[in-house]
Amino acid sequence: MTPRWRLLLLALALLVLAPAVLRVALTLPAFGAPTAALGQTVNALAPELRHVANMVAAVNFDLRGIDTLGEECMLLCAVTGATVLLRGARGEHDTARAGRLPGRPVTPRADATVLVCRIFATLTLMVGLSVALHGMTTPGGGFQGGVIAASGLLLLYLGEGYAGWRALVPPPVLVALEGGGALLFVLCAGLPLLAGHPALQNRLPLGEFRDLYSGGLMVLVNAAVALSVAGSFGLLLVEFLEETREAGDDPISDEEDR
């Protein structure tokens, strides 16, 4: 497609969308107008109706849970698109050697680096799990916990090297986490519809207020988001690191495992 056609399509899109954007902009509250009515309503109703202490989780996973489902599907599509674009002629095998400039020296990984990365990778994974599990009671939740857990995977790579990291975190496991979490979210929304209820309608015990597993169906939705987010960011990390490897069948040596 030539640049002229692209500009023409852009102009047509702006022409179609401009009236809708203008209408939405004109109906927005005035600058400085109080907008706390929704927050006050959620604070008043959600603890009694859903037995949760984290109002952000109540909004994301129940009151506007369909929006969150759409956002989760957008993340899934974005990671899938990035994977398709990055996948190509490069070192995708777990033993592919690292690409580097000729003559550049290889610095051995210090034992202290390995030890520190192992300790903090474990702590990071535990913090991510804790944030995800306490999503109904404290600030945080599945998305935040999934991102933190995925950050721990990077520390594993820094400490164990490429081949060791790929052995500890095989990409098929990350694919299963990403797809399984998204599928669980879809089932949480779709199964109530099949039974004649609204999407994400809670049919599970709500538990006690401030209990770790309070919130009924929101607990499953929170877990689904945590799994999908951790798998998505882990897959992106795999794709980015594979871009640093050279295509070929020569196995990697211990000195080149960087």
Q: What angle do CA 223, 224, 230 make, to 5 degrees?
A: 90
pLDDT interval class at 101 (50, 70, 90): low
| 219 vs 35, higher pLDDT | 219
* Residue spans of beta strands (DSSP E) within 44-116: none
The reported pLDDT for the residue numbered 115 is 93
Place of tokens 């109002």: 55
Locate 118 and state its tokens. 């192992």
Domain boundaries, the chain: 51-99+129-147+169-242
| 8 vs 106, higher pLDDT | 8
3-state SS string for 25-71? HHCCCCCCCCCCHHHHHHHHHHHHHHCCCCHHHHHHHHHCHHHHHHH
If you average pLDDT over residues 90-101, what whole number do you get? 63
Closest CA to 109 of 166, 168, 162, 170: 162
Radius of gyration of the chain (CA): 23
Mean model confidence pLDDT for the chain: 85
Place of tokens 């998204």: 182
Per-residue pLDDT of 132-159, as tens digits, reads 999 888 888 899 999 999 999 889 888 8
If you average pLDDT over residues 186-210, what whole number do you get? 88
The reported pLDDT for the residue numbered 254 is 46
Per-residue pLDDT of 155-180, as tens digits, reads 988 888 888 888 888 888 999 999 99
Per-residue pLDDT of 44-55, as tens digits, reads 888 888 889 889
